[in-house]
Amino acid sequence: MDPADFYTGIVAELYGPLKSFSQAPEPYAAFIQQVGMPALELGCGDGDPLLELRRRGLEVEGVDSSADMLERLRRRADDQGIHATVFHQRMEALNLPRRYRAIFLAGPTFNLLPDDATALAALRGIRAHLAGDGIALVPLFTPAPTPSEQIRRVSTAAASDGAELRVSVVAEQRDETARRQTTLLRYERHHGSDSSVVERPWILHWYTRDQFEKLATTAGLAVTAVTDPDGKPAPASVTDVLHYRLQAT
Protein backbone atom coordinates (compact mmCIF):
# COMPACT_ATOMS: atom_id res chain seq x y z
CA MET A 1 0.00 0.00 0.00
CA ASP A 2 1.04 3.61 -0.51
CA PRO A 3 2.54 4.86 2.78
CA ALA A 4 0.37 8.01 2.57
CA ASP A 5 -2.71 5.73 2.85
CA PHE A 6 -1.54 3.86 5.96
CA TYR A 7 -3.91 5.77 8.32
CA THR A 8 -7.13 4.76 6.57
CA GLY A 9 -9.97 2.29 7.27
CA ILE A 10 -9.49 0.20 10.41
CA VAL A 11 -6.19 2.00 11.23
CA ALA A 12 -7.96 5.38 11.34
CA GLU A 13 -10.76 3.87 13.43
CA LEU A 14 -8.35 2.35 15.95
CA TYR A 15 -5.86 5.27 15.95
CA GLY A 16 -7.59 7.37 18.64
CA PRO A 17 -8.49 4.57 21.09
CA LEU A 18 -5.09 2.80 20.74
CA LYS A 19 -2.81 5.82 20.72
CA SER A 20 -0.51 5.87 23.71
CA PHE A 21 0.01 9.66 23.92
CA SER A 22 -1.00 12.92 22.24
CA GLN A 23 1.41 15.58 21.02
CA ALA A 24 1.50 18.40 23.59
CA PRO A 25 0.15 21.61 22.00
CA GLU A 26 2.57 23.95 23.85
CA PRO A 27 5.64 23.81 21.55
CA TYR A 28 3.42 24.43 18.50
CA ALA A 29 1.40 27.20 20.17
CA ALA A 30 4.67 28.90 21.16
CA PHE A 31 6.04 28.47 17.62
CA ILE A 32 2.95 30.04 16.02
CA GLN A 33 2.85 32.89 18.53
CA GLN A 34 6.51 33.60 17.86
CA VAL A 35 6.52 33.46 14.02
CA GLY A 36 2.97 34.55 13.19
CA MET A 37 -0.22 33.47 11.43
CA PRO A 38 -1.82 32.01 9.43
CA ALA A 39 -0.32 28.64 10.32
CA LEU A 40 -0.58 25.22 8.66
CA GLU A 41 -0.21 21.78 10.27
CA LEU A 42 0.89 19.02 7.86
CA GLY A 43 -0.34 15.53 8.81
CA CYS A 44 -2.97 16.92 11.19
CA GLY A 45 -4.69 13.52 11.39
CA ASP A 46 -7.74 13.39 13.66
CA GLY A 47 -6.96 16.75 15.26
CA ASP A 48 -4.18 16.64 17.86
CA PRO A 49 -2.93 19.31 18.43
CA LEU A 50 -4.79 21.29 15.73
CA LEU A 51 -8.12 21.39 17.57
CA GLU A 52 -6.53 22.57 20.83
CA LEU A 53 -4.62 25.28 18.92
CA ARG A 54 -7.90 26.41 17.31
CA ARG A 55 -9.58 26.36 20.74
CA ARG A 56 -6.86 28.77 21.93
CA GLY A 57 -7.86 31.15 19.13
CA LEU A 58 -4.86 30.49 16.85
CA GLU A 59 -5.44 30.66 13.09
CA VAL A 60 -4.25 27.19 12.03
CA GLU A 61 -5.36 25.12 9.03
CA GLY A 62 -4.57 21.45 8.43
CA VAL A 63 -3.59 19.02 5.70
CA ASP A 64 -3.74 15.24 5.77
CA SER A 65 -3.57 12.45 3.18
CA SER A 66 -6.23 10.36 4.94
CA ALA A 67 -9.88 11.26 4.32
CA ASP A 68 -10.80 8.92 7.20
CA MET A 69 -8.58 10.79 9.69
CA LEU A 70 -9.97 14.14 8.48
CA GLU A 71 -13.53 12.84 8.88
CA ARG A 72 -12.74 12.04 12.52
CA LEU A 73 -11.18 15.49 12.97
CA ARG A 74 -14.33 17.16 11.59
CA ARG A 75 -16.55 15.12 13.91
CA ARG A 76 -14.40 16.04 16.95
CA ALA A 77 -14.42 19.71 15.86
CA ASP A 78 -18.23 19.67 15.59
CA ASP A 79 -18.55 18.00 19.02
CA GLN A 80 -16.32 20.69 20.57
CA GLY A 81 -17.93 23.59 18.66
CA ILE A 82 -14.63 24.42 16.95
CA HIS A 83 -14.34 25.61 13.33
CA ALA A 84 -11.39 24.03 11.51
CA THR A 85 -10.33 24.38 7.87
CA VAL A 86 -8.61 21.22 6.63
CA PHE A 87 -7.52 19.94 3.22
CA HIS A 88 -7.30 16.37 1.94
CA GLN A 89 -3.89 16.44 0.25
CA ARG A 90 -0.51 14.77 0.41
CA MET A 91 2.24 16.98 1.78
CA GLU A 92 4.46 15.93 -1.16
CA ALA A 93 1.86 17.31 -3.59
CA LEU A 94 0.78 20.41 -1.68
CA ASN A 95 -1.43 22.84 -3.60
CA LEU A 96 -3.26 25.30 -1.35
CA PRO A 97 -4.77 28.72 -2.06
CA ARG A 98 -2.93 30.54 0.77
CA ARG A 99 0.61 31.20 1.96
CA TYR A 100 1.46 30.70 5.63
CA ARG A 101 3.79 32.43 8.07
CA ALA A 102 4.14 29.19 10.04
CA ILE A 103 4.11 25.63 8.65
CA PHE A 104 4.72 22.74 11.03
CA LEU A 105 4.33 19.05 11.71
CA ALA A 106 3.42 18.02 15.26
CA GLY A 107 5.82 15.23 16.16
CA PRO A 108 7.97 13.34 13.64
CA THR A 109 5.25 12.76 11.00
CA PHE A 110 7.78 13.82 8.31
CA ASN A 111 9.57 10.50 9.03
CA LEU A 112 6.50 8.77 7.46
CA LEU A 113 7.62 9.97 4.01
CA PRO A 114 9.23 6.77 2.69
CA ASP A 115 12.27 8.08 0.78
CA ASP A 116 14.38 11.14 -0.03
CA ALA A 117 12.51 11.87 -3.28
CA THR A 118 9.17 12.12 -1.46
CA ALA A 119 10.76 14.20 1.30
CA LEU A 120 12.25 16.58 -1.27
CA ALA A 121 8.84 17.02 -2.93
CA ALA A 122 7.32 17.81 0.49
CA LEU A 123 10.08 20.34 1.26
CA ARG A 124 9.47 21.99 -2.13
CA GLY A 125 5.76 22.18 -1.25
CA ILE A 126 6.59 23.75 2.11
CA ARG A 127 8.87 26.28 0.38
CA ALA A 128 6.12 27.19 -2.10
CA HIS A 129 3.54 27.74 0.66
CA LEU A 130 5.65 29.85 3.04
CA ALA A 131 4.89 33.57 3.12
CA GLY A 132 7.99 35.72 2.40
CA ASP A 133 9.70 35.52 5.79
CA GLY A 134 7.65 32.55 7.03
CA ILE A 135 9.23 29.72 9.02
CA ALA A 136 8.68 25.95 8.88
CA LEU A 137 9.17 23.58 11.82
CA VAL A 138 9.96 19.94 10.99
CA PRO A 139 10.44 17.49 13.90
CA LEU A 140 12.60 14.48 12.96
CA PHE A 141 13.96 11.44 14.75
CA THR A 142 15.93 8.27 14.10
CA PRO A 143 13.74 5.34 15.13
CA ALA A 144 15.21 2.51 17.19
CA PRO A 145 14.46 -1.06 16.12
CA THR A 146 11.50 -2.56 17.99
CA PRO A 147 12.97 -4.63 20.87
CA SER A 148 12.55 -8.35 20.11
CA GLU A 149 10.49 -8.94 23.27
CA GLN A 150 7.90 -6.46 21.94
CA ILE A 151 7.37 -8.35 18.67
CA ARG A 152 3.92 -10.02 18.82
CA ARG A 153 3.09 -8.29 22.13
CA VAL A 154 -0.53 -7.14 21.89
CA SER A 155 -1.81 -3.73 23.08
CA THR A 156 -5.55 -3.56 23.65
CA ALA A 157 -8.18 -0.86 24.07
CA ALA A 158 -11.98 -0.77 24.20
CA ALA A 159 -14.02 0.94 21.47
CA SER A 160 -17.01 3.06 22.45
CA ASP A 161 -19.33 0.30 21.14
CA GLY A 162 -17.64 -2.27 23.43
CA ALA A 163 -15.50 -3.90 20.72
CA GLU A 164 -12.02 -5.08 21.72
CA LEU A 165 -9.28 -3.35 19.71
CA ARG A 166 -5.79 -4.81 19.36
CA VAL A 167 -2.53 -3.81 17.74
CA SER A 168 0.73 -5.78 17.58
CA VAL A 169 4.03 -5.84 15.70
CA VAL A 170 4.23 -8.93 13.48
CA ALA A 171 7.72 -8.42 12.02
CA GLU A 172 10.23 -5.70 11.23
CA GLN A 173 12.89 -5.06 8.58
CA ARG A 174 15.54 -2.36 8.81
CA ASP A 175 17.65 -1.10 5.93
CA GLU A 176 20.44 1.16 7.22
CA THR A 177 21.55 2.10 3.67
CA ALA A 178 18.11 3.26 2.58
CA ARG A 179 17.53 4.59 6.13
CA ARG A 180 14.16 2.86 6.21
CA GLN A 181 12.43 0.66 8.76
CA THR A 182 9.34 -1.32 7.76
CA THR A 183 7.25 -2.60 10.64
CA LEU A 184 4.42 -4.99 9.82
CA LEU A 185 1.55 -4.09 12.17
CA ARG A 186 -1.57 -6.15 12.80
CA TYR A 187 -4.76 -4.29 13.72
CA GLU A 188 -7.72 -6.27 15.07
CA ARG A 189 -11.30 -5.43 16.02
CA HIS A 190 -13.39 -8.08 17.79
CA HIS A 191 -17.04 -7.60 18.71
CA GLY A 192 -19.07 -10.69 19.55
CA SER A 193 -18.85 -12.98 16.53
CA ASP A 194 -17.63 -10.09 14.26
CA SER A 195 -13.89 -9.84 13.74
CA SER A 196 -11.72 -7.87 11.36
CA VAL A 197 -7.96 -8.24 11.08
CA VAL A 198 -5.69 -6.14 8.87
CA GLU A 199 -1.90 -6.26 8.49
CA ARG A 200 -0.12 -3.17 7.15
CA PRO A 201 3.51 -2.14 6.62
CA TRP A 202 4.38 1.02 8.57
CA ILE A 203 7.41 2.75 7.08
CA LEU A 204 9.78 5.16 8.83
CA HIS A 205 12.57 6.90 6.90
CA TRP A 206 15.28 8.96 8.59
CA TYR A 207 18.16 11.37 7.89
CA THR A 208 21.40 12.50 9.36
CA ARG A 209 21.38 16.22 10.09
CA ASP A 210 23.66 16.75 7.10
CA GLN A 211 21.44 14.73 4.74
CA PHE A 212 18.35 16.67 5.80
CA GLU A 213 20.12 20.03 5.42
CA LYS A 214 21.15 19.06 1.86
CA LEU A 215 17.57 18.12 0.91
CA ALA A 216 16.35 21.42 2.38
CA THR A 217 18.94 23.38 0.39
CA THR A 218 17.87 21.62 -2.83
CA ALA A 219 14.27 22.65 -2.06
CA GLY A 220 15.27 26.33 -1.62
CA LEU A 221 15.20 26.24 2.18
CA ALA A 222 17.89 26.88 4.78
CA VAL A 223 18.02 25.25 8.20
CA THR A 224 18.21 28.20 10.60
CA ALA A 225 18.09 26.27 13.89
CA VAL A 226 18.04 22.74 15.28
CA THR A 227 16.72 22.46 18.83
CA ASP A 228 15.16 20.00 21.20
CA PRO A 229 11.33 20.19 21.40
CA ASP A 230 11.60 22.81 24.20
CA GLY A 231 13.59 25.12 21.94
CA LYS A 232 16.94 24.50 23.66
CA PRO A 233 19.98 24.09 21.36
CA ALA A 234 20.50 20.42 20.49
CA PRO A 235 23.94 18.80 20.26
CA ALA A 236 24.62 17.08 16.90
CA SER A 237 24.65 13.61 18.48
CA VAL A 238 21.11 13.66 19.89
CA THR A 239 18.95 10.82 18.53
CA ASP A 240 15.69 11.95 20.19
CA VAL A 241 13.22 14.15 18.31
CA LEU A 242 14.89 17.30 16.99
CA HIS A 243 13.03 20.38 15.77
CA TYR A 244 14.42 21.76 12.50
CA ARG A 245 13.50 25.36 11.62
CA LEU A 246 13.57 26.24 7.93
CA GLN A 247 13.34 29.50 5.99
CA ALA A 248 13.30 30.27 2.28
CA THR A 249 16.70 31.12 0.84
Ligand X SMILES: C[S@@+](CC[C@H](N)C(=O)[O-])C[C@H]1O[C@@H](n2cnc3c(N)ncnc32)[C@H](O)[C@@H]1O
By the criterion CB under 6 A, which residues form the site for ligand X?
A: 4, 7, 23, 43-45, 48, 63-66, 69, 90-92, 106-107, 109, 112-113
CB nearer to ligand X: give 48 or 188: 48
- Work out how close the CB of 140 gets to ligand X at its nearest, in angstroms, rounded to a whole number: 14
How far, in Å, CA of 201 to CA of 233, rounded? 34
Closest approach, Cβ 233 to ligand X, in A, equals 25
> Is 66 or 183 the residue whose CB approaches ligand X more closely?
66
Q: Estimate the crossing angle of helix 67-80 against helix 10-18, to 10 degrees.
A: 50
Residues 6+ apart with CB under 8 A from 234: 226, 227, 228, 242, 243
CB of 237 to ligand X, least distance (A): 26
Instruction: Identify the three-state secondary structure at position 98.
Output: coil
**Toward ligand X, which CB reaches closer, 110 or 244?**
110
Shortest distance (Å) from residue 164 CB to ligand X: 22
Least CB distance to ligand X at residue 17 (A): 12
Q: Residue number with the shortest CB distance to ligand X?
A: 45
d(CA 131, CA 101): 5
Residue 178 C-beta: closest distance to ligand X, Å: 18
Nearer of residues 89 and 190 to ligand X, judged by Cβ: 89
For 197-229, the DSSP string reads EEEEEEEEE---HHHHHHHHHHTTEEEEEEE-T
Closest CB to ligand X among residues 65, 183: 65
Angle, alpha carbons 108-236-112 (nearest 5°): 20
Q: Are 143 and 204 in contact (CB under 8 A)?
A: yes
40 vs 221, beta carbon nearer ligand X: 40
